[in-house]
């Protein structure tokens, strides 16, 4: 009984404190449901770093609807229930004007009923297609998803003539979704997937699975891991086992830290799916995405001089770039969620950092294959692959 009372008193005090913090209406609040801790945390860190710079960039060019942008984050702990609680808090307590989240596909799906009920635009940064398709009134794709990355990989494989391929991936939703996309796309393009090996992300050794793959003599190996620790480990183990096939890793592995974990493997025959931001230094002025990427890279270097932008850095930024573009046509009416939503779903060819964005009222996603590429690493720089 005492415990219940104490909890209730604590809750009431906190509520009081919360509502006492009146919100300033002259700004545009972006609520970010972020997996700052937990399984998705390692990659969220890069999303957040990029978002910092992105906000400065957007505010430097007029903000959204002429209003300065402020991001309010809530840690969903990579956990669906906490994601829902965060979402409600950002909507009710923080009066967010739009939402961004969640990093994992399942939590993103879990918050959608709330988003739907409250009527607030959500930019989904989850790689799984089910997060934004089929059409959901208030949800928009904002990330280079599995359906953009995978065709890039498969088409590259086909081009190089590597048509007997083995797949090793983790048994999470990410690995599962990726595997499904890969198998479908491979079948469409005449690439044969010889085997589909899995592991748990917290496993410490995958040599058993790799030994099995080695015995199948594939021409290439697709190594899709949810974390760079495991991804790098697999690459190291492949070298240890004397496997010298080219290996392909996902965009989430295209991080400098990967090279530290994978050692020599990173430079030796690994191909990475990457966003154009990754090879920003090599972008020429006639590349259609040159403008935003160059501007962003400048802001990013100021904000994080010790970091090199990777494919995950721009992930959370395009959402506010799209919102900014949408806001140009309606000005301060961006604070009206319905008006904002309608504006967003009519954006055409908006240049983001991950590609060009075009939405329609029937389709809140578009293909970003043009923004994805295959790169290799030479120890210092990321270079588009031949």
Partner 1 sequence: MDATALAQTAVSGLANGALYAFVGLAFGLVSRSTGLINFAQGDLTMLGAMLAAAMSDAGAPLLIAVPLAAVGCAAIGGGFYFFAIRPSTRATMSQLIIITVGLSILIRGAVTSLWGTDPKQVPPFTQGAPIAFGGVSVLPQQLWLIGILALVAIATAWFFRRTTLGLALRASAANPVGASFVGIDPRLLGLFAFAAAGFLGGLAGAVWSPIAYAQVDIGIGIGIKGFTGAILGGLYTAFGPLIGGVLLGLFEAFTAGYVSSHYEDALIFALLILVLLLRPRGLLGGSAGATNDQKPEEILSASARPTTFRRRDIIGIVTGIVALGIIGAVLPAVWVSTAIFTGMEAMIVIGLVLLTGFSGQLSLGQPAFMMIGGYASAYLTVRSGWPPILALLVGIALSASVALIMGRIIFRLHGFYLSMASLGLLMIALTFAREWSGITGGPSGFVGIESFSLLGVRLASDTAVYYTVAAFAVISLLFGMNIARSRIGRALLAMRSSESAARACGVEVVGLKMRIFAFSAATASVSGSLYGHYLSIVNPSPFGLDATIQQLTALTVGGFLSLWGAFAGSLLTVALPQVIGWISGSAESQLIAGVEYILFGVLLIGIVMAQSSPMLYRLRRRLGRRGAASVVAASERAP
Judged by CB under 8 A, the chain residues 248 through 277 that form the site for partner 1 are 257, 260-261
Residue 64, phi then psi, degrees to nearest 5: -110, 120
x-or-dash pattern for partner 1, window 89-118, by CB under 8 A? x-xxx-----------xx--xx-xxx--x-
Q: How many CB atoms lie within 10 A of CB 1?
A: 5
Decide if 286 contacts 294 (C-beta within 8 A).
no
Q: Which is nearer to partner 1, 94 or 342 (CB)?
A: 94
Residue 145 makes contact with partner 1 by CB under 8 A: no
By CB under 8 A, the count of residues binding partner 1 is 81
Q: Which stretch binds partner 1 (CB under 8 A): 57-65, 75-83, 147-155, 367-375?
A: 75-83
- Comparing CB distances to partner 1, the nearer of 174 and 357 is 174
- Rounded CA gap, 51 and 307, in Å? 14
Query: What tokens does 102 get?
Result: 């969640």
- Restricting to residues 361-380, which ones interact with partner 1 according to CB under 8 A? none
Candidate ranges 33-41, 184-192, 302-310, 365-373; the one touching partner 1 (CB under 8 A): 33-41
Residues of this chain, 320-339, that bind partner 1 according to CB under 8 A: none
Nearer to partner 1, 252 or 373 (CB): 252
The answer to whether residues 53 and 310 touch, using CB atoms and an 8 Å cutoff, is no
Q: Which of 80, 184, 342, 369 binds partner 1 (CB under 8 A)?
A: 80
List the interface residues with partner 1, window 155-194 (CB under 8 A).
171-173, 175-177
Nearest distance in Å: CB 115, partner 1 = 11
Please identify, among the stretches 85-93, 245-253, 291-299, 365-373, the one whose residues bind partner 1 according to the rule CB under 8 A: 85-93
Using CB under 8 A, which residues numbered 202 to 241 contact partner 1?
Answer: 202-209, 211-212, 214-215, 227-229, 232-233, 239-241
CB of 87 to partner 1, least distance (A): 9
24 binds partner 1 (CB under 8 A): no
Contacts of partner 1 in 39-58 (CB under 8 A) = 39, 41-42, 45, 48
Of 36, 166, 372, 374, which one interacts with partner 1 (CB under 8 A)?
A: 36
Q: Is 350 in the site for partner 1 (CB under 8 A)?
A: no
- Find the shortest distance in angstroms from Cβ 147 to partner 1: 14
Q: Judged by CB, which is closer to partner 1: 91, or 144?
A: 91
- Give dist(CA 190, CA 181) in Å, integer: 14
Select 315 or 373, whichever has its Cβ closest to partner 1.
Answer: 315
Using CB under 8 A, pick the residue from 59, 77, 297, 324 that binds partner 1: 77
Binding residues among 293-322 for partner 1 as defined by CB under 8 A = none
Residues whose CB falls within 8 Å of the CB of residue 55, separated by 6 or more in sequence, listed in order: 30, 69, 70, 71, 320
- Least Å distance, CB 356 to partner 1, is 28
Judged by beta carbon, residue 85 or residue 370, the one nearer partner 1 is: 85
């Amino acid at each position: 009984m005492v415990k219940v009372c104490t909890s209730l008193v604590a809750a009431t005090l906190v509520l009081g404190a919360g509502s006492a913090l009146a919100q300033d209406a002259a700004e545009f609040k972006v609520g970010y449901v972020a997996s700052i801790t937990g399984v998705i945390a390692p990659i969220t860190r890069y999303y957040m770093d990029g978002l910092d710079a992105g906000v400065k960039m957007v505010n430097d060019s007029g903000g959204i609807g002429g209003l300065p942008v402020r991001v309010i984050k809530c840690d969903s702990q990579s956990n669906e229930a906490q994601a829902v609680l965060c979402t409600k808090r950002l909507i009710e307590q923080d009066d967010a004007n739009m939402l961004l989240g969640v990093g994992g596909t399942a939590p993103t799906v879990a918050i959608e009923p709330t988003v739907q009920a409250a009527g607030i635009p959500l930019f989904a940064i989850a790689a799984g297609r089910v997060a934004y398709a089929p059409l959901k009134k208030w949800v928009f794709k904002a990330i280079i998803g599995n359906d953009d990355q995978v065709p890039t990989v498969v088409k590259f494989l086909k081009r190089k003539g590597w048509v007997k391929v083995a797949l090793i991936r983790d048994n999470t939703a990410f690995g599962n979704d990726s595997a499904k996309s890969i198998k479908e796309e491979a079948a469409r393009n005449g690439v044969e997937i010889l085997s589909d090996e899995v592991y748990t992300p917290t496993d410490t050794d995958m040599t058993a699975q790799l030994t099995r793959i080695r015995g199948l003599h594939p021409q290439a190996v697709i190594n899709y891991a949810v974390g760079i620790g495991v991804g790098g480990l697999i690459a190291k183990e492949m070298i240890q086992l004397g496997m010298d096939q080219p290996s392909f890793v996902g965009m989430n592995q295209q991080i400098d830290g990967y090279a530290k974990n994978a050692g020599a493997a990173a430079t030796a025959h690994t191909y990475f799916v990457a966003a154009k931001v990754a090879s920003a230094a090599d972008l020429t002025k006639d590349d259609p995405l040159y403008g935003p990427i160059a501007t962003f890279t400048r802001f990013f270097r100021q904000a994080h001089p010790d970091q090199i932008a990777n494919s995950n850095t721009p992930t959370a930024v395009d959402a506010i770039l799209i919102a900014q573009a949408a806001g140009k046509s309606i000005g301060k009416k961006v604070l009206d969620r319905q008006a904002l939503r309608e504006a967003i779903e009519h954006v055409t060819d908006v240049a983001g950092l991950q590609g060009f964005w075009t939405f329609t009222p029937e389709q809140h996603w578009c293909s970003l294959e043009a923004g994805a590429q295959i790169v290799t690493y030479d120890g210092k720089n990321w270079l588009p692959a031949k």
